[in-house]
């Protein structure tokens, strides 16, 4: 059961379903997964003006990538500097880093999804056409919330994946194209060919209940998940509430904290929150305005966690409607000591 649950949440993390969001329309009729980026900048009309006191950095010094209305930006988390990538003129709809210091991304060209790359080790990186996915752009957009399929990197196979063909039966995209980074071949995903290469013991972990507390346990440590968190306020509808269930998402780089999902209720999909707990018991915190369905969360090398959350729109926002609770997407950063700050207004990110 735990392995099935782990697989389900892994699929959700890969973006097979979409967050409950409202996306601003793109004038080019190309849907992106983002609203707008505001990273250490002030907005003047439709222009992003970088603060003058921010020291310019090159792309190779950046550890995050963000999207804003089809435009690609790079972000340096240590200098809090934003670098727009102006040499790509087509609308970028997703992206992912690979260990060879490349960023791969997709653009729709004449209605078809194309794969391009940037070599971040180059002094002045230029977009390179990598391949044609052979899939119409509209087939890669969900019919629930209009979000675009993410680009997924499978490190054990050195392969990129792009999901397509939405199904209302599963509320998700159901087919996948695979691009082999070694030989450049594009093939159709088949379950029997994508069996895991991960060792069995990497899937073995336990969630225990002791003295009314929930614990996570695996070969690294035993971590309490619930003695400082009251999960009841995060249940939106008591009729759908379930017994607490948990899934490990990832360890921090120094193995001092775990990121996990707490499943609190079931509808068509599991819902709940993301949370972080430290081995020493000092930090145990829910990640504000998150849902375990369709989450985006990544660890930075310094031990900070960056994730996509939401915040209410201001009544002065042009998209505000008192009858609809529209929300703005923002990227939040949790520092190793537990302090949190908003670093961007955007609903998509990738960490190098």
Mean pLDDT of 264-283: 83
Going by C-beta distance under 8 Å and a sequence separation of 6 or more, which residues neighbour residue 35?
23, 24, 328, 329, 345, 346, 347
Residues pairing with 83 in the sheet: 74
Task: Output 216 or 328, whichever has higher pLDDT.
Answer: 216
Residue 343: pLDDT band with limits 50, 70, 90 = confident
Q: CA 151, CA 133: separation in Å to the nearest integer?
A: 12
In this predicted structure, what is the pLDDT of residue 347? 67
State phi, psi for 186 to the nearest 5 degrees. Answer: -110, 125
Q: CA 325, CA 21: separation in Å to the nearest integer?
A: 10
In this predicted structure, what is the pLDDT of residue 129? 96
Q: CA 190, CA 159: separation in Å to the nearest integer?
A: 14
Task: Output 220 or 285, whichever has higher pLDDT.
Answer: 285
In this predicted structure, what is the pLDDT of residue 313? 65
In this predicted structure, what is the pLDDT of residue 190? 66
Q: State the average pLDDT for the chain.
A: 75
Could you write out the DSSP letters of every residue in 14-83? TTSS--S--PPPPTTS---S-S---SSEEEETTEEEE-TTSPP--GGG--EEEEETTEEEEEETTTTEEE
Task: Output 195 or 175, whichever has higher pLDDT.
Answer: 175
Residues pairing with 88 in the sheet: none
Q: CA 239, CA 102: separation in Å to the nearest integer?
A: 47
Give just the sign of the alpha carbon dihedral 29, 35, 39, 44: positive
In this predicted structure, what is the pLDDT of residue 252? 92
In this predicted structure, what is the pLDDT of residue 55? 55
pLDDT in tens, 196-235: 444 444 444 577 787 778 888 777 788 888 888 888 888 7
In this predicted structure, what is the pLDDT of residue 126? 93
Residue 151: pLDDT band with limits 50, 70, 90 = very high
In this predicted structure, what is the pLDDT of residue 89? 92
Going by C-beta distance under 8 Å and a sequence separation of 6 or more, which residues neighbour residue 179?
115, 130, 131, 133, 159, 160, 161, 162, 185, 186
Task: Output 199 or 16, whichever has higher pLDDT.
Answer: 199
Q: CA 286, CA 234: separation in Å to the nearest integer?
A: 10
Which residue, among 116, 162, 158, 153, has the nearest Cα to 135 in the 3D structure? 162
pLDDT in tens, 102-136: 999 999 999 999 999 999 988 888 999 999 999 99
pLDDT in tens, 54-67: 456 788 888 889 88
In this predicted structure, what is the pLDDT of residue 50? 38
């Amino acid at each position: 059961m735990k392995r099935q649950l782990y697989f389900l949440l892994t699929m959700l993390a890969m973006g097979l379903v979409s967050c409950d969001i409202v996306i601003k329309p793109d004038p080019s009729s190309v849907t992106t997964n983002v609203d707008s980026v505001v990273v250490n900048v002030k907005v003047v009309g439709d222009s992003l003006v970088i603060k003058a006191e921010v020291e310019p950095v090159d792309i190779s010094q950046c550890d995050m990538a963000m999207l804003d209305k089809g435009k690609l930006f790079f972000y340096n988390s240590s200098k809090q500097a934003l670098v727009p990538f102006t040499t790509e003129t087509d609308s970028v709809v997703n992206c992912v880093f690979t260990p060879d210091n490349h960023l791969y991304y997709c653009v729709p060209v004449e209605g078809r999804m194309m794969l391009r790359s940037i070599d971040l080790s180059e002094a002045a990186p230029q977009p390179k056409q990598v391949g044609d996915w052979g899939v119409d752009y509209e087939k890669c957009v969900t019919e629930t919330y209009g979000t675009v399929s993410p680009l997924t990197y499978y490190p054990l196979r050195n392969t990129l994946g792009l999901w397509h063909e939405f199904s209302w039966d599963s509320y998700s995209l159901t087919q996948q194209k695979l691009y082999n980074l070694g030989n450049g071949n594009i093939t159709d995903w088949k379950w029997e060919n994508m069996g895991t290469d991960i060792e069995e013991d990497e899937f073995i972990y336990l969630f225990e209940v002791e003295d009314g507390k929930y614990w996570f346990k695996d070969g690294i440590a035993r971590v309490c998940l619930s003695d400082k968190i009251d999960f009841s306020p995060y249940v939106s509808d008591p009729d759908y509430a379930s017994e607490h269930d948990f899934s490990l998402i990832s360890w921090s780089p120094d193995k001092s904290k775990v990121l996990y999902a707490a499943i609190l209720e079931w509808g068509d999909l599991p819902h709940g929150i993301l949370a972080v707990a430290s081995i020493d018991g000092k930090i145990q915190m829910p990640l504000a305005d998150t849902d375990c369905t369709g989450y985006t969360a990544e660890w930075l090398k310094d031990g900070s966690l960056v994730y996509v959350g939401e915040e209410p729109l201001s009544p002065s926002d042009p998209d505000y409607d008192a009858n609809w609770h529209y929300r703005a997407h923002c990227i939040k950063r949790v520092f190793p000591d537990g302090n949190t700050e908003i670093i961007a207004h955007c609903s998509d990110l990738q960490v190098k």
